[in-house]
Structure 1
């Protein structure tokens, strides 16, 4: 009996499609990571969106909680699948103070195990199988699996620009582009069910202005389309006033959480995603949430979410950490300073090498253009360059495959997964590679 006969159609499809194209090489790089003494010729995995810059600081805090605090009785019992009340209240207060800037109610939050689960659950509850989610390109490759594998939604990559420099003044997304996408999707017999934005963006590091979000929200409400804004990098912001990079932002765009606009409109078509994975560097904790004023969505989330519920112990530990506001204030400031230092280290070298990149406002990435080194302008040419860089330098970037953008030769560099000292070594190897290619 073949594997196709052993599985359902969905199971066979899932078995045939790797979650992302760089996983196999990522595991190879992890087995040979750089160490200045023990492994000076080792690799630099810079493709996985993890933030290790201030983990030691947070780890000490978590260790003190688990060592000094008594575990409450509710930890051992069943709880609300959408998050136990005390954890929802603590998170609402944290988001209100640090991300949003105004108070939100815990009654408008629902939790599940990580951002992936939140995306999957939201898509499952808002869309029907065969509906379409529109996502401006380039964007997070694994959105495709998150909305597709179980919910059964399709992904439409909206091409808003061709070259990196077109992002200089923000995302060039227009209502006419949404109208065209809607007509194309409906002509194919599908429904434009949702528009997904990420701000700060993965991979470009750009942000959407409040004016843009207002226009897009109005269009979505008028068309009965759900607008979901993912702020998973909302506190992973770059200090754009840093003297080495401030000239990259002649018309700076202020970050303002989409939750503020949601509070004004209170529309059932406006939603926000968040997770602690990136801003706190705890992707292994698996804590994500949706913020919405759509009562039916919250009810469905609670009723269908038992298999996605977060461990009560995990909720308790993070609740204790978040309630220490002074610690969180210090942690966020330290994390943003460390992230800015990493960013400056990278773009300093890119500037010196005249490698185009998009000035980032936040996220854990630099989105750079290495198309000048393509042997052929194709997916294969892009993959060949990606592998050549890894084989010659040990630097593993995320290739643009799956980001949905038409231009070839663009790559995402994760700047938060290795120490500042190691990043200096990696960028020196990158410099030697670029100069060698040009010669």
Structure 2
């Protein structure tokens, strides 16, 4: 019996950290590497933050606040799903830079960050005890986002066994979806939501337009809500780079799911996005959902008041979103910086003979260090993860929680530091594995 002063869910929350690596991450932040002040300091590479072009964006934001008066509406309540002017500016941004088709502002609703959007969506689309299917490996915190408040179960769909199978994208099939449906219904639950992330976290793989169409058709036929998370949609690697193109024998073209949604206009198709990753502003807490399901959008507006974004943040970012000339310059610079970070990492992995998933985008490299494990178990994974941190100061994302059955695969965030510091991290990693 729960003897806590909290509810059952509250007591569970006291025993369940949002991430298993947070304590060590905060420890690392207290001892950060600096080339002169702290050259032996820690190099956290476990949290999905992007600092590559922050200076460009910061300068533009400072220009907004310096040269413009704050509008009257900022100090008042506005539409809980997003101020109309902010939705209009964001619709223009999505239309030009991601969807490549017109976007109706009223089809967008905002919440304070991607986590809030995920939680709200699961809460409104599924009943407690229903199941969301997610191809493995995938973002560990999806479990809490859909589970803590909405009480939706997570089903990790095993689409492949070897990292080499990702070279042509995520190898998902309709047969796998049918099997998942049978398994879930056999366990007394309902396959209610399918979540795809493209580019994927952690593998960097993408879904082809053909795959998206086949999966969308299956979901509509089976009345399953398909949500595609494109939070890394504009974090794309230049796969034509001379050092990279050999990894992509059958290159896939990235097509935004928003483009397909404009054609289907189905109430079972939805899209997630956040400014956190492509724009590198995690602390601004801006997430959005796009849908042609008006009933869902009405529910989102009515239930989401506690998840609203600060009006000041909305105003600042609507000015940035409306400046397409600035955004064009930003998205010319950012992919170059991202590709350079990716090159620094994979050059080192190739030198060490470590396999990795060829990435189309995202902030990560998904690598296979299974041959260095003392045992291919969760314990073996935890041991090497901690040993790398203790001996090098490099904190990669632990394997725990990604939902993949293969042991020894780890995620490394490549965008949280400048190129010089990233090279230091890779040199330390090469020294570490050379002694194994």
TM-score normalised over the length of structure 2: 0.99
Which whole-Å CA distance do the structure 1 matches of 2:3 and 2:95 have between them? 49
SS across alignment from 1:5: coil
- Distance apart, 1:5 and its partner CA: 2.7
Which whole-Å CA distance do the structure 2 matches of 1:100 and 1:268 have between them? 18
Q: Does 2:385 match 1:386?
A: yes
Which whole-Å CA distance do the structure 1 matches of 2:308 and 2:129 have between them? 26
- Distance apart, 1:3 and its partner CA: 7.4
- 1:10-409 matched pairs, under 5 angstroms: 10-409=9-408
Equivalences, count: 436
Which whole-Å CA distance do the structure 2 matches of 1:173 and 1:307 have between them? 36
Q: Show the counterpart of 2:411.
A: 412
Cα deviation digits, residues 28-56 of structure 1 (max 9, x gap): 11111111100000110000000001111
Which whole-Å CA distance do the structure 1 matches of 2:162 and 2:24 have between them? 28
Cα deviation digits, residues 66-99 of structure 1 (max 9, x gap): 1111000000000000001000000000010001
- Distance apart, 1:336 and its partner CA: 1.0
Which whole-Å CA distance do the structure 2 matches of 1:65 and 1:174 have between them? 47
Cα deviation digits, residues 6-34 of structure 1 (max 9, x gap): 01111111111110111111011111111
TM-score normalised over the length of structure 1: 0.98
Computed over aligned residues only, the root mean square deviation of the Cα atoms, in angstroms, reads 0.9
Which whole-Å CA distance do the structure 2 matches of 1:61 and 1:104 have between them? 25
Which whole-Å CA distance do the structure 2 matches of 1:241 and 1:180 have between them? 37
Cα deviation digits, residues 344-365 of structure 1 (max 9, x gap): 0000111111100000000000
Which whole-Å CA distance do the structure 2 matches of 1:430 and 1:329 have between them? 36
Structure 2, unmatched stretches of 5+, are none
Contact 2:2 2:8 in 1 (8 A): no
SS across alignment from 1:214: helix
Contact 1:358 1:368 in 2 (8 A): yes
- Distance apart, 1:144 and its partner CA: 0.3
Which whole-Å CA distance do the structure 1 matches of 2:398 and 2:65 have between them? 40
SS across alignment from 1:300: helix
Which whole-Å CA distance do the structure 1 matches of 2:383 and 2:113 have between them? 33
Which whole-Å CA distance do the structure 1 matches of 2:104 and 2:97 have between them? 15
Cα deviation digits, residues 232-290 of structure 1 (max 9, x gap): 00001001111111111111100010011111111000000000000000000000000
Which whole-Å CA distance do the structure 1 matches of 2:322 and 2:173 have between them? 41
Which whole-Å CA distance do the structure 1 matches of 2:130 and 2:15 have between them? 22
Runs of 4+ in 1 over 6 A off after TM superposition: none
Structure 1, unmatched stretches of 5+, are none
